[in-house]
Structure 1
Amino acid sequence: MELLLLIEMAAPFVADLQLRWPLARLTPQHADAVRIVITNGSTGLSAQQMDALPALQLVCCYGAGYENIDLQAAQQRGITVTHAPGVNNATVADHAMALMLSSARALPLLDRAVKAGQWLGHRTARPAVHGKRLGIVGMGNIGALIARRAAGFDMEVAYHARHPRPDIAYRYVGDVLELARDSDYLMLACPGGPATRHLVNKEVLDALGPQGFLVNIARGSVVDTTALIEALQQKRIAGAALDVIENEPAIPPEAAQLDTLILTPHISGRSPEAQQAQHDALLYNIRACLEGQPLRHVLTLS
């Protein structure tokens, strides 16, 4: 049996896989023997790749996302696809709030300035977060956790999703453009994929306006990066904080020149607790597959 790892994974977790399954190989030296693939939503797995692995039985998403896995092709080939929903929701929500606060209060810029001896020159007023309007695009489990945290800052929360949620007390807005227009902070917590590609474009950014901030902990593809950089350069929005960006890890050269843009390296879901839970979910499904037992969190075509 060969286990094919397509993504970066912390060394202790790789070592744990090798310890549990000594015969597992983490390189596709013998494609005909690969039974299990470990990937994630960003890396995905295409129909062509599946065809190159004739013995493939299971595709494990290391995390909740699965937008770039061809579920239809997997189903047609009798390949099971699993993921790990919910294991890092709270950590992502924490990071989203940290990005919003850091952008509003310009913390990275002020840190650099003070360390460079520019204390007095940067004691200007910065926007508050408490009492402001937060628009959340995507009201799944992560969006709901962000909203709960925002309530602690006395923020006025509204949201946009494919459908309103009757179990959610926050105001539903049926159009992203309208939500941006009514928000001081626009938070992206929606799925990636073709349906949300460049959902945030020039028009949405203009609706957010020169006092507005954008935060993205969803997928880089949700934001038109060229339009965002132009909006920041022209001060048509006040700032942006992104944990994800199109074509990551590469970033546009202009991004490095913008003090109003904060970037983190797609780590919103990474905490020791979240990573261990994610790894435990992976181990469970690998073991269940090899032992012919029921799998958890199996993905099917909706």
Structure 2
Amino acid sequence: MSAQSAAARHRLVSVRRMPPAITARAAAEYDGAIAVERDFGREESLDLLRGHAAEALLFSSGFRLDAEYIAALPPQVKVAATCSVGFDHVDVAAAKARGLIVTNTPDVLTGCTADLAFSLLLSAARRLPEADALMRRDAWGPRSMGDFLGVRVWDKTLGILGMGRIGRAVARRARGFDMRVLYHDVAPLPPAMEEGAHYVASLHDLLRQSQFLSLHSPLTPATRHVLNGETLRLLPRGAVVVNAARGGLIDEEALIALLRDGHIAAAGLDVFEGEPRFDRRFIELPNVALSPHVGSGTVETRDAMGHRCLDNIAAVLGGRPPIDPIWS
């Protein structure tokens, strides 16, 4: 239990089920309502915030903190902590206008998300979903040397779109595979931060050179569908596309068309537009490795994310600056 006495404990509503360690800490340190067996819906969460006079909201990327919800928050709510690094599910302007402090969880999920992105890259390149399906239906039989061929990863060129923490971590992993790494972002990084990668000022030039492309940009109005029918075709024929950032970065209709005609050899996707719903046509494509937005999905990382949220909440409710405000 925290240093504050039970009588003076702050009040929290946690609307999404969290790992056991986070649920236990939240229950020990706060009064209020904590989702355990099921998530709380929007209206239910507002009722709980009012009923418990809660000062803090703990949520995740599956819960939209939009302008309508922010306007309905009871006045005593001071801080909302999202258990995610991305915050495209938050209406930043509305939160600022309301005076609501919103925090996220950078840093702690970088390594595991990069691991997942590179896993998808390898899986797509070497056709592991197809191989796994073949083995499960007991269909391993005679084949020629030209059958069931993937594409080599080592000694190829990887383009990284978005060279933040996760993009840089992917670049470090790519060096271990002897890949040539290029990147595009709004500006070049200092050389000491480039992880051996080379800056390409033009997105179109990056795409033309990328045999593999990994997306690590935030989703903003400027980056929505940054990969579309026109830009995807700039990739060399036979390229592999990986997205472990945000689904809205890719025009999925265009991606499906190019996967079908072979211009894009394969894709590894952890994120989708409209998730958890996703375009079921991806299931029909054997050249796509799919995962359900689990980039941070390890025990260690999810615990670290939850603790970071609770640390941010404790700072704000204790009268200190937030550790990870999504704006300064």
**CA deviation digits over 1:28-69, x for unaligned, max 9?**
324442421223345341222111112221011212111232
More off after superposition, 31-40 vs 126-135: 31-40
In the other structure, the counterpart of 2:199 is: 172
**Matched residues in 1 for 2:312 and 2:212: separation?**
39
Alignment partners' CA distance in 1, 2:88 and 2:23: 24
Q: Tell me, yes or no, if structure 1 residue 52 matches structure 2 residue 79.
A: no
Could you tell me the TM-score, scaled by structure 1's length?
A: 0.92
Q: Does 1:21 align with 2:42?
A: no
Q: CA 1:259 to 1:83, structure 2 compared with 1: closer, same or farther past 3 Å?
A: same
> What's the % identity of the aligned pairs?
35
Q: Please give the alpha-carbon distance, in whole angstroms, between the structure 1 residues aligned to 2:115 and 2:208.
A: 25
C-alpha distance in 2, partners of 1:121/1:230?
31
How far apart are the structure 1 equivalents of 2:18 and 2:315?
Answer: 21
Equivalent residue pairs, number:
301
1:35 maps to what in 2?
A: 55
The answer to whether the Cα contact below 8 Å between 2:129 and 2:288 also exists between their aligned partners in 1 is: no
Aligned-partner SS, 1:135:
strand
* 1:126 aligned residue: 150
Compared CA separation, residues 291 and 90, structure 1 to 2 (3 A): same
Kept after mapping to 1: 8 A contact 2:61/2:89: yes
Shift of 1:226: 0.9
Q: 2 CA distance for matches of 1:228 and 1:129? A: 21
Residues 161-194 of structure 1, C-alpha deviation per residue, up to 9 Å, x if partnerless?
Answer: 1111122242211222221211110100111121
How far off is 1:6 after superposition? 4.0
**One-letter code aligned to 1:72:** A
Aligned equivalent of 2:96: 75
- Inter-partner Cα distance in structure 2 for 1:15 and 1:194: 38
Residues in 2 aligned to 1:19 and 1:184: alpha-carbon distance in whole angstroms: 50
Give the 3 Å change call, closer, same or farther, for CA 126–299 of structure 1 in structure 2.
Answer: closer
Gaps in structure 1 of 5+ consecutive residues: none
Rounded to whole Å, the distance in 2 between the matches of 1:200 and 1:109 is 25
Structure 1 Cα separation of the partners of residues 201 and 16 of structure 2: 36
- Which position in structure 1 is the counterpart of 2:41? none
Where in structure 2 are there 5+ consecutive unaligned residues? 1-9, 36-44
CA-CA distance at 1:11 after TM superposition: 5.2
2: distance between equivalents of 1:57 and 1:147? 38
Q: Is contact 2:21-2:303 (8 Å) kept?
A: no
Aligned residue number for residue 104 of structure 1: 125
**Could you state the TM-score of these two structures normalised by the residue count of structure 2?**
0.85
RMSD over aligned Cα, in angstroms? Answer: 2.0
Q: 2:214 aligns with which of 180, 187, 212?
A: 187
